[in-house]
Structure 1
Amino acid sequence: MYRHTKLSLLAIAIATTGAVAYAAKGEMENDTLAITKAKIPLTQAVTIAEQDVNGKASRAEYEKSKQGWVYDVEVVSGTKVFDVRVDADKGTVISSAEDKADHDDDHDKQD
Structure 2
Amino acid sequence: MNRKIHQIALVVVTTTVIGSAYAAESAENDALAITGAKISLTQAVASAEQHVGGQASKAEYEHEKGQSVFEVEVVKGQSVMDVKIDPTSGQIIASADDKADHNEDKAEHNGDDEQDD
Q: What TM bracket, shorter-length normalisation?
A: 0.7 to 0.9
CA-based RMSD: 2.6
Cα deviation per residue 1:33-91 (whole Å; 9 max; x = unaligned)?
Answer: 11111111100000000000000000011111336210010000111100000001100
Query: In structure 2, what residue type is equivalent to 1:16?
Result: V
Structure 2 counterpart of 1:8, one-letter code: A
Matches within 5 A, 1:84-99: 84-99=83-98
With over 3 angstroms needed to count, the CA separation of the structure-2 counterparts of 1:16 and 1:67, relative to structure 1, is closer
Moved over 2 A (4+): 1-7, 14-20
Cα offset for 1:17? Answer: 3.9
**In structure 2, C-alpha distance between the alignment counterparts of 1:67 and 1:52, rounded to whole Å:** 25
**Number of residues of Structure 1 aligned to a counterpart in Structure 2:** 106
Which segment drifts farther, 40-49 or 99-108? 99-108
Structure with more of its chain in helix, by fraction: 2
| Larger gyration radius, structure 1 or structure 2 | 2
TM (norm. structure 1) is: 0.78
What runs of 5+ residues in structure 2 fail to find an aligned partner? 113-117
Residue 77 of structure 2 corresponds to: 78
